Chain A
Amino acid sequence: MTVALENNITTTIHGDRVSLLRVLGPAHVWALGVGIVLVGEFTGWNFSADKGGALAALIVCWVVGLLYTSVAMIDSEVTSTVAAAGGQYAQAKHIVGPLMAFNVALFLVFAYTMLEVSDAILLGDTIVAKAGVEGLTHNSFIAATIVVLAWLNYRGVLMTLNVNFVITAIAYVSIVVLFFSVSPWTQGAVLKLNELVTPGNALPYGWIGVIAAFQFGIWYYLGIEGTTQAAEEVRSPARSLPYGTMAGMITLLIAAAMTWYVCASLMPWEYLGITYYPLWDAGKLTGSPLLENLLFIATLLAALASANGCINDAARAWFSLGRDRYLPSWFSAVHPKYRTPYRSILFLLPIALAFAFIADLNQAITFSILSGVLQYTFMSINIMMFRKKWPLGSIRRGYTHPFHPLPAIVLFCLCVVTFFAIFLGFGSQLIAMVAFYFLISLWFHFYRYKFVRRGDQFTMPWPKPQGY
């Protein structure tokens, strides 16, 4: 049938439309955000101790926590208004413009796919380390992680995030159990923070070590902004997204503080900075087989939850690019039974497998962090433009973040420091990645954008921005 719309554009509708299902609540948003991030407590954050000592790891825990609190607040405000799959991509499209949106979507896909790859490698390596069997490789466990989770995502978002809620909650509770099992209120019985972190070794490389530690401090919270990808599938975006995201951030701040306290009180910074399993090692050091096995299982569950959320988010960002014809519209297909972006899930599956089999953990993590920080830098600029073009009172907001523009300024400054820290450790990768985004932007501007239906891509029923 042919329908004439109010804006005089004529379009053809073929039967019922097949769209993503609105079935999620705040708990699922929490499970998505915390699920992606929590693996960072089980491995990753501790490498900041190698860069600057145990005290540097604590300083970046709080300072990077400030960065991510700004991210969560800014994201909550914009997403409660731009409730569409693609999250920050849809935000950038409406607020900045198509070229920025294309880049942001690529940041998202890279950040989540590389994080998924890192999670799968971590899970495989953890099982191989536990097994201690000669000749056993991690490849089969990596393949099973990626394929089983892709299958789960293929079959539906509700079950995917129900599973994520359960396994994330178990992994989180394991940190709480470990914390209370080591008598945190008594130094000397199990914990020896006074002996392990002294004025002489707290900051072994001085304040430049603290700056360098930012690169891995990101791991305490990397991925919490992924909650926005669920925008088109939550029943009440204006309520669920800010609630789930802020609750997730509070949860993570508590987990990060407990993790640092227990690990820094059990391991010298020289070891803490190089181990791949700080919490599992902490469980071993308590001497309790129960805690050791609990933290082993929790490490696996945290990696699974993170990879699961990453598949969900990367597929939705890719799907959104297809829907706006920034990529072939073939990718925008929705499964008529399961209501998932099944072609995007299937397309990204072999890419993740290929990277997981050929890349090493450090490279994958670095590409993920780089794409994430590029995205956060965009968010600080995005919120300034959003408030300028659509001031408070001009459009409905589900959440309004306080102290504007302070969070945006703090976020931008901390992103600059983090870029400097990454440059210190992985300068060539940083330059290569920026060059890649520059070249792909040229391709989009001069070739791909002519396929985009320019009027169709702006879907929010907003008034004209101020100044236009």
Chain B
Amino acid sequence: MRVVLAEDLFLLRDGLVRLLESYDFEVVAAVDTGPTLLQALLDHQPDVAVVDVRLPPTFTDEGLRAALEARRRLPGLPVLVLSQYVEQLYARELLADGSGGIGYLLKDRVFDPDGFVEAVRRVAAGGTAMDPDVVAKLFAKDHHRDGPLSRLTPREREVLGLMAEGRSNAAIAQELVITERAVIKHTSNIFTKLDLPPSEADNRRVLAVLAYLK
């Protein structure tokens, strides 16, 4: 699987290249600025891009903007954005086009290589990988008042959270130590309670959930 990587700190870039290559990814370009990232994305059209939000020359959200611009020109280009912090504002911008293939994770998630690589693969396959922190923030908003989320049982809320992160039914079942059938039952309950149209594809599910949370 071909990857374009953008990270300005040498140590992290090096570490990420090594990590990805040890899981049999092919890093076709490892760049360190916003403009070179956009160029590399357009030139290589990789299977997935792993991008740091903050990049030179401005050291602002250069990476995020380059990724969004690349997706405007190459619709559906899978991008996993890494950051030292997660913002709902950026999450919403990334998800705005509704086409999937989007990830937004804290850099800490790299500490768990298996989980991180799983997220990269999920994004490359057109799925989503939202950081649990983003999901928690999205949920926190609704908890305040008697929003529709309060109609869910605690278990259903757990399932919804994992769904919003982009996990598949199998992954959710494993995480919560329940059967996949139970997960399917929970999800259909959730969709009914939230008046969302039922859908089989993982990605469409996530987008529906996130659209609803907006």
Check if A and B associate. Answer: no
Q: CB within 8 Å of A: which residues of B? A: none
Q: CB within 8 Å of B: which residues of A? A: none
